[in-house]
Structure 1
């Protein structure tokens, strides 16, 4: 049942993004930024954690899960380090994902030939 919950919750998040692309004049970059901010806000007020507990990867893999991850990192670092945690918590919690994106980006750049389209 966990797979089914992950599938339909992740699917609904993607459907929301597709509706925003189709029905509004928002650019994809603004929609992605909105999803990250929504993940941060929902995580900060405690609404995203129950969704992650219910749907697992269906809620943590979409870009809104990245915002949630950052808000959780800030929350933990704030409790441990005080005000300094506000600045360091988000980057510390998301460091593995950011590092992986950089490494895989470099590998893709080395394996492909760039050019104008």
Structure 2
């Protein structure tokens, strides 16, 4: 039963992020790219204020997988880099914390591009 509740919390929180994004797409003139950037920035801001980690603790992957979770990871990496390396850590901390996700995205995109034929839609 506990495993089901873990999945339910992740689904509800992740689904809420998706629903909010869809509302922004439907009700505003914002482009999806701007909404995604807004999600990353909001994750950084909420993490900087100390409000995002409790959400990650509650929802697990429902909060850490969406783009707000990427922003949270950036802010967390900068904070840890600053504590370890001083001012240089501000520049390197966020990149170090997110390197695995960025590398995975690049590698998976390369594999998909090799399997399928990418091109213009025209």
Q: Same fold (TM over 0.5)?
A: yes
CA offsets 1:9-54 (integer angstroms, 9 cap, x no match): 1111111101000000000000000000000000111000000000
2:113 to 99, 109, 114: 109
CA deviations over 1:79-98 (Å, ceiling 9, x no partner): 00001111001100000000
Which structure 1 residue ranges, 5 or more long, are not aligned?
Answer: none
Counterparts of 1:13 and 1:113, CA distance in 2:
32
Residue from 10, 13, 16 that aligns with 1:9: 13
2:76 aligns with one of 60, 64, 72? 72
Cα RMSD of the aligned pairs, angstroms, is 0.8
SS in 2 for 1:114: coil
User: 33, 44, 50: which is aligned to 2:48?
Assistant: 44
User: 1:31 aligned to 2:35?
Assistant: yes
Whole-Å Cα distance in 1 between the matches of residues 94 and 48 of structure 2? 12
TM-score (norm. length: structure 2): 0.93
